[in-house]
């Protein structure tokens, strides 16, 4: 048997053991190649293309490399440790370290090159599917055409080549630094040094729970007005981040053990098989893996959080647009409006029109702001007359605010009554504040601010109009809203709107166009975040799986004992299932709950609907994630079967 | 009364073309309350014999009856059931679960039979005191010595009062003091509980604690020695002699 034989044989064996690793490698190279191909695709060109997402994809591909390289390097440390005995044996029979290194390099190279080639092939065929998904979610009607990009190919090869090089350097360092004796020891040094729980651990355990809980508490108060200024909010956010991450670490370090220890103590030494397999082993393992678990939990929380938020935004684009853009078309000059309306009439599209005069005034709201993050309570607000707003009747002294959405609610909250001061150029008038409505009368795109509009009595409005400060006015003080009578006409009308040659200086908007462009933007973001999240999910799932693979082999002797004692393999597998529910479930549940609190604290900046998109995202994540748990149980099954 | 009755058992490994017969027509009876030793050189088949007797390995032909049950034809599920009721094990390398305390390890077999925990605790207390490990109950295996580990392992084997206990080189990893300690305890338990113990060993000192020693050579029973009324020392010398005849290692004494 020569060396080539040896390499081939090792490969065969490894492929069986590490099919998931190969899968992750193929998947990530495919995804990377697809991203890069998309990036070089003319459809995505920032200037001429249909989708403006080149920058997003570029950022995504860099993040992807970061995730993938950390994963590959980490997985490699697991593998090389597993093979330390074999390496020791080679050394023992007199093989020089250089040659061992060569064997490993060639083996890895074959594994790598094959996965990469398959990955690139799949990535290429997949990129068409991907661009179709992208077109679909961004609502673009285009036929996906793709060309094999040599540039993308070289970039992929270079990037993965560099990662391979790093892995080789790592392996080299590992082989170099080991002596024969220590090589034999690596895998026999069990990670769990079983010790009884100490007071320090109990304290760590309690602290961990406290840290997480306080992080959650602060996050729930974050935008409720408890924090006045932007600085305070930033500080609070950092506090949350720190306390949750530290809390998570301490949780794995101590709390899991502490909690399980309480359960175990109550059993008074009488543990059944399920408890033996789950409780006792998790108690020791979680602690030694606490750093890795913290990283996985934190990043999966981030991934789920971003996925939720981007999906929430995407999900509520339509609803948000209807809320903040009240009319189908917004036009800011009579001339443009006439131009557009004539065309509509020619095409026999029925419509209604509303004209609202809008002036901008400085308004001092000090008296009515309950809490807010803006340091100044005097703001420039759009002012409209009550006669232009349907269903509002005010007396001379009264003032109503309108256009108060959840995003604004997060930034400032109002008292139910009080007074406001409206400042003109010369005079200041004081008005009774009677409340705030949700409804928007004029488009926020027209007013160029997210702040509410002020409604006053018509008489007051005319007075104010004489006293305006010209420097804070918009180019046009006329807001023209055009609404279609039949929804069915909207596509046709939108086409007309696009065709119409408006004055370049005016603010002319179509709601449909806005929705489409936002959908495009959010679609690209969601697409990128989605695939990054998927990559992360797969890589972290793989790492947990590998860890479990290791653990199952370390515990094989235990299974032998248990089976000799008369437990059936079914008993054992039942226990293992519970154990895996904990092993995979704890990081998942903590990750989900972190992201839940993160999303909940600020979701209203992103959209209108929290539950549906969040539950969909979390559900999908859980399903995909549990596949790895199930695979690990299957692996355990094999080990247990072999144990006797 | 015979607890174990093995009649003309055969066991071979390998395939049709390359067959290695490990047990060739072995007959063995073990009566209740007996402390029996099985000796033989490496490769003589003593561990295989123990494995087939204890239902961990299957035989090719013959019959093994334990307390009247034919175990060679039992299905895996019944075997597991049978093992938990009738068999106890002590291994050379203790085979304690590292993640469980001494007490938890010992009580493990009782959880299979779902013994009420009050009964279990009582049994534990009595047995652990007898073996001198009661004070260690909350310690983990890596905090106690080899001898203590082996006594824990023994306690686990005895706790459910099995019909027969199989010990595979129980003193193999112990120093001579701990070994004689353990063997004394085993003898005590054998007498006080009328427990049947089958021990495989290659150490003549350990074997001399038994009442009967069966010698195996090349997969067959070569001879049997009874202690009878003699002292342990004279029994030891008999064993040495037989072992010499067997062609095993000669001991200077």
For A641, name the nearest residue in chain B, comparing CA atoms only: B76
How far is A72 from A164, CA to CA, in rounded Å? 9
Q: Predicted confidence band at A623 (pLDDT cuts at 50, 70, 90)?
A: very high
In a domain, B28, yes or no: no
Each domain of chain A, given as residue ranges in start order, spans: 1-189, 329-510
Instruction: Please report how many Cα atoms fall inside a 13 Å half-sphere around the Cα of residue B8, on the Cβ side.
Output: 2
Chain A residues closer than 8 Å to B77 by CB? 568, 570
In a domain, B230, yes or no: yes
Chain A residues closer than 8 Å to B80 by CB? 563, 566-568, 571
Highest-confidence range of A50-59, A224-233, A507-516, by mean pLDDT? A507-516
Q: What is the pLDDT of residue A165?
A: 93
A75-91: average pLDDT: 80
Q: B58 and chain A: CB distance < 8 Å anywhere? A: no
Could you tell me the CA-to-CA distances from A505 to A233, A331, A484 in Å, in that order? 38, 11, 24
The per-residue pLDDT for range A551-591, each reduced to its tens digit, is 888 888 888 888 888 888 888 899 899 999 998 999 999 99
Phi, psi of A148 (to 5 degrees): -70, 125
Of the two residues A149 and A634, the one the predictor is more confident about is A634
In a domain, B24, yes or no: no
Phi, psi of B43 (to 5 degrees): 80, 5
Model confidence at A189: pLDDT above 50: no
- For residue A458, which of A363, A331, A359, A380 has the smallest C-alpha distance? A359
**Mean of the per-residue pLDDT values for chain B?**
87
Q: What is the pLDDT of residue A624?
A: 92
Q: What is the pLDDT of residue A608?
A: 79
Q: What is the pLDDT of residue A48?
A: 47
In a domain, B182, yes or no: yes
Q: What is the pLDDT of residue A277?
A: 83
For B55, name the nearest residue in chain A, comparing CA atoms only: A564
Q: A61 and chain B: CB distance < 8 Å anywhere? A: no
Query: How many domains in chain B?
Result: 1
Q: How far is A575 from chain B (nearest CA, A)?
A: 13
Partner residue facing B109 (CB), from A193, A565, A644 = A565
Q: Which residues of chain B have pLDDT under 50?
A: 248, 250
Partner residue facing B100 (CB), from A276, A567, A568 = A276
Alpha helices in A347-441 (DSSP H): 406-411
In a domain, B222, yes or no: yes
Element (H, E) at A378: strand A378-385
Model confidence at A501: pLDDT above 80: no
Q: Predicted confidence band at A162 (pLDDT cuts at 50, 70, 90)?
A: very high
Give the CATH number for residue B214: 3.40.50.300
Most B-contacting residue of A198, A564, A567, A572 (CB-CB within 10 A), to test interface: A564
Query: B169: domain range?
Result: 34-43+74-246
The per-residue pLDDT for range A89-121, each reduced to its tens digit, is 777 777 888 888 888 888 888 888 999 999 998
How far is B253 from A366, CA to CA, in rounded Å? 104
How far is A76 from A171, CA to CA, in rounded Å? 8
Of the two residues A159 and A12, the one the predictor is more confident about is A159
Chain B residues closer than 8 Å to A563 by CB? 80
- For residue A310, which of A322, A298, A299, A302 has the smallest C-alpha distance? A302
**Mean of the per-residue pLDDT values for chain A?**
83
In a domain, B131, yes or no: yes
Q: B140 and chain A: CB distance < 8 Å anywhere? A: yes
Phi, psi of A129 (to 5 degrees): -60, -40
- A592 in Cβ contact with A304 (< 8 Å): yes
How far is A98 from A90, CA to CA, in rounded Å? 11
Q: What is the pLDDT of residue B115?
A: 83
A131-152: average pLDDT: 75
Chain A residues closer than 8 Å to B142 by CB? 193-194
Model confidence at A613: pLDDT above 70: yes
Place of tokens 């709390």: A255
Model confidence at A309: pLDDT above 70: yes
ipTM > 0.85 for the complex:
no
In a domain, B251, yes or no: no
Q: What is the pLDDT of residue A375?
A: 57
Long-range (24+ apart) CB contacts under 8 A made by B44-51 are B44/B216, B44/B217, B44/B218, B44/B219, B45/B11, B45/B216, B45/B218, B45/B219, B46/B200, B46/B202, B46/B216, B47/B168, B47/B200, B48/B11, B48/B22, B48/B23, B49/B23, B49/B200, B49/B216, B50/B166, B50/B168, B50/B198, B50/B200
A247-255: average pLDDT: 89
SS3 A228: coil
Chain B residues closer than 8 Å to A566 by CB? 80-85, 87, 109, 112
Q: What is the pLDDT of residue A191?
A: 46
């Amino acid at each position: 048997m020569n060396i080539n034989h040896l390499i081939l044989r090792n490969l065969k064996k490894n492929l069986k053991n590490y099919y998931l690793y190969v899968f992750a490698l193929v998947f990530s190279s495919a995804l990377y190649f697809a991203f890069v191909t998309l990036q070089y695709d003319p459809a995505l060109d920032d200037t001429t293309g249909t989708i403006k997402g080149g920058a997003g994809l570029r950022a995504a591909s860099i993040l992807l490399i970061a995730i993938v390289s950390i994963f590959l390097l980490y997985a490699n440390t697991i593998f090389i440790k597993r093979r330390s005995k074999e390496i020791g044996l080679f050394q023992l029979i007199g093989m020089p370290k250089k040659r061992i290194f060569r064997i490993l390099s060639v083996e890895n190279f074959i594994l790598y090159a094959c996965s990469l080639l398959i990955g690139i092939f799949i990535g290429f065929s997949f990129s068409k599917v991907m661009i179709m998904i992208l077109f679909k979610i961004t609502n673009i009607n285009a036929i996906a055409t793709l060309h094999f990009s040599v540039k993308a190919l070289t970039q992929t090869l270079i990037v993965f080549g560099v990662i391979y090089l790093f892995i080789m350097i790592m392996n080299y360092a590992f082989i170099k630094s080991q002596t024969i004796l220590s090589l034999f020891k690596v895998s026999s040094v069990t990670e769990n040094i079983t010790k009884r729980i100490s007071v320090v651990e109990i304290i760590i355990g309690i602290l961990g729970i406290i840290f997480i809980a306080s992080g959650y508490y602060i996050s729930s108060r974050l935008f409720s007005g408890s924090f006045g200024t932007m600085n305070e909010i930033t500080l609070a956010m950092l506090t949350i981040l720190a306390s949750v991450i530290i809390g998570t670490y301490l949780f794995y370090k101590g709390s899991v053990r502490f909690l399980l220890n309480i359960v175990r103590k109550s059993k008074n030494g009488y543990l059944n098989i399920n408890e033996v397999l789950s409780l006792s082993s998790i108690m020791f393992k979680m602690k030694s893996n606490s750093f890795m678990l913290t990283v996985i939990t934190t990043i999966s929380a981030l991934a789920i959080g971003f996925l939720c938020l981007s999906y929430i935004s995407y999900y509520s684009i339509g609803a948000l647009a209807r809320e903040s853009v009240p009319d189908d078309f917004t036009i800011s000059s009579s001339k443009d409006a006439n131009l557009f309306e004539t065309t509509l009439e020619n095409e026999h599209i029925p419509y209604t029109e509303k004209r609202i005069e809008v002036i901008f005034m400085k308004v001092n709201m000090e008296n009515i702001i309950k809490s807010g993050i803006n340091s100044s309570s005097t703001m420039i607000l759009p002012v409209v007359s009550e006669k232009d707003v349907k269903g509002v009747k005010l007396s001379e002294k009264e003032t109503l605010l309108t256009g108060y959405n959840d995003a604004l609610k997060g930034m400032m909250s109002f008292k139910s009554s009080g007074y406001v001061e409206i400042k003109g150029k010369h005079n200041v008038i004081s008005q009774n504040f009677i409340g705030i409505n949700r409804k928007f009368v004029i488009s926020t795109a027209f007013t160029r601010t997210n702040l509410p509009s002020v409604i006053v009595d018509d008489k007051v409005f005319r007075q104010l109009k004489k006293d305006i400060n010209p420097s804070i006015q918009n180019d046009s003080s006329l807001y023209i809203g055009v609404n279609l009578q039949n929804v069915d006409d909207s596509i046709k009308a939108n086409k007309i709107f696009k065709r119409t040659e408006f004055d370049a200086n005016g603010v002319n908007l179509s709601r449909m166009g806005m929705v489409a462009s936002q959908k495009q933007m959010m679609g690209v973001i969601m697409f990128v975040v989605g695939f990054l999240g998927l990559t992360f999910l797969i890589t972290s799932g793989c790492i947990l799986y590998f860890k479990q693979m290791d653990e199952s082999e370390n515990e094989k002797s235990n299974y032998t004992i248990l089976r000799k004692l008369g437990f059936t393999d079914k008993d054992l597998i039942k226990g293992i299932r519970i154990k895996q529910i904990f092993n995979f479930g704890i990081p998942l549940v903590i990750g989900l709950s972190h992201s839940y609190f993160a999303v909940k604290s600020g979701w209203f900046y992103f959209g209108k609907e929290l539950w549906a998109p969040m539950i969909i995202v979390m559900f999908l994540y859980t399903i995909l994630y549990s596949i790895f748990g199930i695979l690990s149980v299957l692996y355990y099954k094999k080990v247990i079967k072999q144990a006797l | 009364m015979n607890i174990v009755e093995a009649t003309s058992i055969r066991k071979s490994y390998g395939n049709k073309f390359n067959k290695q017969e490990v047990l060739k027509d072995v007959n063995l009876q073990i009566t209740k309350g007996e402390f029996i030793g099985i000796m033989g050189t490496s490769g003589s088949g003593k561990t295989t014999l123990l494995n087939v007797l204890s239902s961990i390995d299957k035989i090719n032909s013959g019959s093994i009856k334990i307390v009247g049950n034919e175990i060679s034809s039992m299905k895996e599920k019944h075997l597991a059931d049978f093992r938990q009721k009738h068999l106890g094990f002590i291994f050379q390398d203790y085979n304690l679960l590292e993640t469980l305390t001494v007490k938890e390890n010992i009580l493990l077999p009782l959880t299979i039979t779902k013994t009420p925990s009050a009964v279990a605790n009582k049994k534990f207390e009595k047995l652990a005191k007898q073996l001198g490990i009661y004070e260690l109950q909350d310690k983990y295996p890596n905090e106690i010595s080899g001898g203590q580990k082996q006594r824990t392992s023994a306690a686990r084997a005895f706790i459910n009062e099995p019909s027969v206990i199989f010990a595979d080189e129980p003193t193999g990893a112990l120093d001579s003091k701990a070994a004689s300690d353990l063997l004394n305890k085993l003898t005590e338990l054998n007498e006080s509980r009328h427990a049947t113990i089958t021990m495989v060993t290659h150490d003549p000192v350990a074997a001399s604690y038994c009442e009967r020693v069966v010698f195996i050579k090349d997969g067959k029973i070569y001879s049997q020695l009874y202690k009878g009324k003699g002292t342990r020392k004279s029994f030891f010398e008999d064993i040495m002699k037989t072992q010499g005849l067997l062609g095993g290692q000669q001991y200077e004494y």
